[in-house]
Structure 1
Amino acid sequence: MNTKIIVDRDKCLGAGLCTLAPSYFELGDDGKVELPHGGDVADGDMREVNDAVTMCPAEAISLQRDA
């Protein structure tokens, strides 16, 4: 199963809690979330990424799972 990170930058408040998963999230020059290496999540990193997604106060990040 492939999992991809989806970001709605319009919702992002720049709280930075997502950066607890620094391999996947960082804040750009505008203070909003960016995906420095694309949005594909390695199976072994799902817990870390899911925790970061769950902590987003603006609910600006979601996960899309493909079969």
Structure 2
Amino acid sequence: MIAVDEHTSIGCWVHGISAQDIEITVPDTSLIPDVFMLTSSPLDPLKVCCTLWRTDETIGARFR
């Protein structure tokens, strides 16, 4: 899940992950800010991510 703000979360599909970077797919990347919080069971409870690049449905980001 991507936390957009205190009240909004968007589901995502994580399909590329390393120690520093992650690649995720969402229905519409324009809804995701350049800095966002990501929660996922394989990750620590919460990761702050900075967007490196984006297409219409995919975001490449780096963990802060």
| TM-score range for the pair, normalised by the shorter chain length | under 0.3
Instruction: For CA contacts below 8 A with separation 6 or more, give which structure has more relative contact order.
Output: 1
The structure with more strand, counted as a fraction of residues: 2
Kindly name which structure, 1 or 2, has the bigger radius of gyration based on alpha carbons: 1
The structure with more helix, counted as a fraction of residues: 1
